[in-house]
Amino acid sequence: MFDRGVPFTKMNGCGNDFIVVDNRDGLLNEVALSAFVQNVCRRGTSIGADGFMLLENSSIADFKMRYFNADGSEGEMCGNGARCMSRFAYHIGAAKTKMSFETMAGIYQAELNQNGVKVKFPDVQLQALKLNQPYEWDGPSGVYHYGVVGVPHTVWFVKNVFAIADDQLREWGRMVRNDQQQFPNGTNVNFVELIDRQTLRIRTYERGVEAETYACGSGSTAAAIIAGILGHVDTSVNLLTRGGPLQISYHLTDDAAESVYLEGNSKLVAEGHLLPDAWTTNKTQDDIFKGLEWGEINERSNHS
């Protein structure tokens, strides 16, 4: 079907951008994915993205979502990525408007609507959250809150979050993300400003991207749940990110945040083919493709 190259779609959710590939026919099964992802996610010299996703077959859901950070590490899931993957699945006929999909963090459900894509998260157990944790540093708050909402997140409540200088936020985010004593597996770092009972502003330094992104869906969800547990906001909240608004809603019980939904936009930006210069570096192409010849990639594409 394809003359050459690796077919891809470029997408973004609130400015959090991704390269998405349909891998149901195993097109990239022989590829050393970590190096491949690092190279194609480079901005300036390749397509560039915050993350890379594969849509694959699943025996327990409509499809499987595999998510990779820009540094080549495979992540458990990604909230904004989940919305983009859901729209991509519908776009290529892998799912209908209502769907379920498999991730390393569990099974998620999603629904396309006129406002974008609405993703349902698994319940968040309250006993697993760590609230009001003291932290000695020169950052904007001496207390953080921690929880795993798909991936690990810290939440720091601050004032005038959009006024924080970019380099300052990167410095704080990098410091916390790399604190191996407190966070041996790393963590995403969310700086959150309380506006009113229905509104939060948020900026996120993302683990794996190793930079601030325009938005983080799972981080916004974690912030909304933690702010609600602490009594700062209602259980239906608008999150104002640098890339646009997200809506989070949930129901609190004594044990968990249930019926957790994340809703926001999902944009199909471009479609095309990744060519060898997109993934090659000064090293040989064989370092990534383990000796797989370009002609074999063409042949695999032709049968996809």
84 given a catalytic annotation = no
**Nearest CA among 212, 283, 281, 278 for reference residue 28:** 278
Instruction: Give the residues across from 153 on adjacent strands.
Output: 147, 188
Q: Is 197 left (phi over 0), alpha (psi -120 to 50) or beta?
A: alpha
How far apart, in Å, are the Cα atoms of 29 and each of 54, 144, 151, 290, 298? 11, 40, 25, 11, 14
216 given a catalytic annotation = yes
- Crossing angle of helices 79-91 and 217-229, rounded to 10°: 130
Would you call 75 exposed, middle or buried from its count of C-beta atoms within 10 A (0-12, 13-18, 19+)?
Answer: buried
| Dist CA 86 CA 100 (whole Å) | 9
Q: How many CB atoms are located within 10 Å of the residue 211 CB? A: 15
| Dist CA 240 CA 71 (whole Å) | 26
| Dist CA 11 CA 51 (whole Å) | 10
Active-site residue, from 14, 41, 84, 216: 216
Active-site residue, from 14, 41, 78, 84: 78
Q: Which residues have a catalytic role annotated? A: 78, 216
